[in-house]
Structure 1
Amino acid sequence: MPVHRRRLTTAVACAVMLIGSAAGATGAVAAAPARPSVAHPQHQSGRGALLHAELLYTLKTREAVAAELTEAGFDGSQTRHGVDAYRLTYRTVDPQGRPTTASGLLALPRGKGGRLRAVSFAHGTGSHRSDAPSMQRGTFLTGPPVTYASAGFAAVAPDYLGMGTGPGAHPWMHVPSEATASLDLLRAARAFRSLDRKVLVTGFSQGASAALGLGRALQAGEDRYFRLGALAPISGAYDFGGAELPALLAGELDRKSSVIYAAYTLVAFNRVHRVYDSPDQVFQNPAVEVLFDGEHTGRQLFEGTPDSLDALLTPYGLDLLAHPRGGLVDALRETDSVCRDWAPRVPVRLYMAGGDEQATTANTAHCVDSLLRKGVEAKVVDLSAVDHGGSRHLGSNVRGTVEVLRWFRQLG
């Protein structure tokens, strides 16, 4: 295998599984907090109730932040403050509306008093429950929230359901529960720190759809306090059924990432909507389903799946993705609603990178068209030939983070 191909394959594994794309990344957060944990017994009921806050680490100076961001492959030149990073555990609901708990990262600028403007950042796809912002440090996952916090914002980054310390399996690409987990983390963050009403919302890849879902919930008034301030998603699969799956099946995207996304689609969507009766109905090897239990690492998943869709899926499984029916139609209707069924009344910018090997740029084009039909002109920002570890998809998050930050600063 040529060297450049080996680098891209490794980058794809990191992009899909978020197992650490930057050499020398600090990695998993140590169990011991930097100072005693803080419990909040006065906030013990209802969605968004803050159950526990744990200081994970402190970057005391802007220089320390810049060094950590640079080591993780991000731009460290925009730092203004040191950062305190907390894991918040809070009450929320599962896809069926039943009470559960979740965790997320709250990153705060050191030395900045008063009410802070919040930036909600939703992360990209992960497989292991530790592939979450509150479970890592100095990695591709934490680069964006630490960047926003060091710039003076309160960065709020949900782990999602079934990731971080939350129980159960992760309902990947389930926009309704991504939105409730994100909104409830904002509520928990407000119980911990005074926040401004207007929220700036962004996210990458899977998190781009989650960001739009949160924005829709905020604009609809699902919280009495918070309001939507602006939307800036990056490299999303906004039209999963109409753009992403067709490109994946046509071989237009990276082959290995297509295999993993196809498998994740069937397994995760089946957790909320009945997509198949048994794993052997859709997978050549039914054991593939177990790889998405939240306990297998990205590397294990990468090595445990075949290298082609034909080797992964049965003829029925391939046909199901090509011609969705039953529960898959219901799942795609939810996922693909993020640009179709509402009209944002705030500034919107969609960030993308030409030649993205994982999220076809047709997703962005379809989203723009859908919003335009609702009377919304969303500006598209082409991040051009970005690269991070051989991946334009990863690179769009790195470049997009600093570009989104500049725009958010302009908005005030």
Structure 2
Amino acid sequence: MSDESRISGENAESGTSQENRTSWRGRKRGLARAAALLLAGVTALGGLTVAPVAAAGERDVGGRGGLVSVTSVSDHDAAQVRAFLAERNIAGGTVRYGVRAYRLTYRTVDPYGKPTTATGLLTLPTGGAHRLDLVSDTHGTMVKRTYAPSASEDFGRVPSYLNASAGKAVAAPDYLGLGEGPGPHPYMDTASSVTASVDMLRAARTAAARLGRPLDGEVYATGFSQGGQVAMALGKALEHGADPHFRLRALAPISGPYDLEGQEMPALFDGRVNDTSSVLYISYWLTAQNRLHHLYGNPAEVFRAPYASRVESLLDGTHEEDDVVKGLAPSVKRLLTPAFYDRLRHPTGRLLAALRSADGTCDWKPDVPVRLYAGAADTDVPIQNAGSCAERLAEHGRAVPVLNRGNVDHFGSFAVSAPEVARWFGELSSRPSV
């Protein structure tokens, strides 16, 4: 589910060697430093005018989705976009225009329905139609808040740059507690991920109009890993009328954990998910879900020593993923107490309720084109998740293809699928809406 440095090190064809992971981390950090120097020089808005919504505390009138501020974060011509993608081994055949990206701060609600703020990335093409279709892109697992799309010019921006350079606007929420949003990230809390995503669409609608590129209301939803699951849930919400201004046009999630109870959680124990990812995901999920469902009173009830005393501080949003992994056990069995390990294998009560609160994203009948992308060699989110989703959609009367990208791992499934999604969205936008 992660799109940070660990999965970036995985070879898209052959697996997860530690040597490849380490060498890629060094390359990625070098690219990040170069990107930071580039962004430090970006201050102009490319001739577009931004309304001064951040001045003197001025805010939009209204509630959820109200725009608080707009900040320019990048401005690239088409050649620079192709170079950005090529450096990350992403095909750039759909690139037609340059892109301009902005961090939006907007109003939303927390998991308890209380007002808060969140941030996200709005990316616009420098050419193409005046009135734009909108792509919603929801990102994968991130343990460090500054890896979020609006905060870091790295892999989190690949779908934004791909789709914007092909001629669409792209709204990429950071989610709650990531980017510059306050508080901890409620990891894998589907409900709040959807509200943050819908409110990001609303904020993007306001910002795009002020930037002179109004949106036409058509939404193409995609997302990777954790974001694939969020994309399915967002599509369901939009089709059920979450906001009358937006009409779902197509849905193309990549390698999402759509079935925690039936597939993803069992895969942590049967070897389908590798040990490093298993430890990271279960630690992140338990600490986040405990704040919502009160799964335990003391970390020592769940985690063995010495991990119980450090797990929550490691997952406070300020640590690199490598540091989190190094600070925890090498396997789930060595991380958890024997009693909780058995409890997790046979969940009941609040633990089962927490799992099921994230499932159900495929329990509906889409009235738009849908494609599920996945990789056969994925040891983070096994391809059986996509199979379960397709089965549930079929039970509701809609047959949906699972596009198996072959012998690719988790990040490999994203690398080969994201350009295809951008191309497919482009093909669909040239056809009449159903």
User: Fold conserved (TM > 0.5)?
Assistant: yes
- CA distance 1:23–1:380, change in 2 (3 Å): farther
Root-mean-square deviation (CA), in Å?
2.1
Contact 1:38 1:54 survives alignment (8 Å):
no
Which of the numbers 380, 390, 398 marks the counterpart of 1:358? 380
Match of 2:314 in 1: 291
- CA distance 1:376–1:21, change in 2 (3 Å): farther
Contact 2:374 2:386 survives alignment (8 Å):
yes
- CA distance 1:186–1:4, change in 2 (3 Å): closer
What TM-score do the two structures reach when normalised by structure 2? Answer: 0.87
Match of 1:109 in 2: 125
What SS does the corresponding residue of 1:320 show, helix, strand or coil?
helix
Residue-by-residue CA offset, 1:191-217 (whole Å, 9 max, x unaligned)? 011112120000000000110111111
Match of 1:389 in 2: none
1:330 pairs with 2:353: yes
- CA distance 1:152–1:22, change in 2 (3 Å): farther
Contact 1:22 1:73 survives alignment (8 Å):
no
Q: Report the residue type matching 1:229 in the other structure.
A: R
Which of the numbers 287, 296, 299 marks the counterpart of 1:276? 296
| Cα distance in 2, alignment partners of residues 244 and 379 from structure 1 | 20
What SS does the corresponding residue of 2:84 show, helix, strand or coil?
helix
Contact 2:96 2:167 survives alignment (8 Å):
yes
Residue-by-residue CA offset, 1:76-101 (whole Å, 9 max, x unaligned)? 23210000010000000001110000
What SS does the corresponding residue of 2:287 show, helix, strand or coil?
helix
Contact 2:233 2:362 survives alignment (8 Å):
no
Q: Report the residue type matching 1:334 in the other structure.
A: S
Which of the numbers 164, 172, 179 marks the counterpart of 1:164? 179
Contact 1:34 1:58 survives alignment (8 Å):
no
1:211 pairs with 2:231: yes
Match of 1:24 in 2: 31
1:381 pairs with 2:381: no
1:251 pairs with 2:271: yes
- CA distance 1:378–1:8, change in 2 (3 Å): farther
- CA distance 1:220–1:290, change in 2 (3 Å): same
What SS does the corresponding residue of 1:133 show, helix, strand or coil?
coil
| Cα distance in 1, alignment partners of residues 354 and 344 from structure 2 | 12
What SS does the corresponding residue of 1:86 show, helix, strand or coil?
strand
Deviation at 1:131, TM superposition (A): 1.7
Deviation at 1:45, TM superposition (A): 3.0
1:93 pairs with 2:87: no
1:39 pairs with 2:52: yes
| Cα distance in 1, alignment partners of residues 28 and 292 from structure 2 | 30
- Count of residue pairs brought into register by the alignment: 397
What SS does the corresponding residue of 1:343 show, helix, strand or coil?
coil
What SS does the corresponding residue of 1:337 show, helix, strand or coil?
coil
Which of the numbers 177, 180, 189 marks the counterpart of 1:174? 189
| Cα distance in 2, alignment partners of residues 395 and 21 from structure 1 | 16
Q: Which moved more, 1:330-339 or 1:31-40?
A: 31-40
- CA distance 1:316–1:4, change in 2 (3 Å): closer
What TM-score do the two structures reach when normalised by structure 1? Answer: 0.92
Identity value in percent: 44
Match of 2:74 in 1: 57
Q: Which moved more, 1:155-164 or 1:44-53?
A: 44-53
Deviation at 1:32, TM superposition (A): 6.8
| Cα distance in 2, alignment partners of residues 395 and 251 from structure 1 | 19
- CA distance 1:24–1:302, change in 2 (3 Å): same
| Cα distance in 1, alignment partners of residues 21 and 123 from structure 2 | 32
| Cα distance in 2, alignment partners of residues 264 and 178 from structure 1 | 16
| Cα distance in 2, alignment partners of residues 344 and 113 from structure 1 | 28
Moved over 3 A (4+): 7-11, 19-23, 25-33
Deviation at 1:253, TM superposition (A): 1.7
Match of 2:166 in 1: 151
1:80 pairs with 2:87: no
| Cα distance in 1, alignment partners of residues 126 and 410 from structure 2 | 31
| Cα distance in 2, alignment partners of residues 32 and 23 from structure 1 | 18
| Cα distance in 2, alignment partners of residues 356 and 23 from structure 1 | 27
Residue-by-residue CA offset, 1:50-104 (whole Å, 9 max, x unaligned)? 1100011100x21111011111221123210000010000000001110000000
Unpaired stretches in structure 2, ≥5 consecutive residues: 1-14, 209-213, 430-434
| Cα distance in 1, alignment partners of residues 326 and 300 from structure 2 | 20
| Cα distance in 2, alignment partners of residues 27 and 327 from structure 1 | 43
Deviation at 1:31, TM superposition (A): 6.1
Contact 1:47 1:184 survives alignment (8 Å):
yes
Which of the numbers 348, 360, 367 marks the counterpart of 2:370? 348
Q: Report the residue type matching 2:147 in the other structure.
A: D
Deviation at 1:42, TM superposition (A): 5.8
Match of 2:12 in 1: none
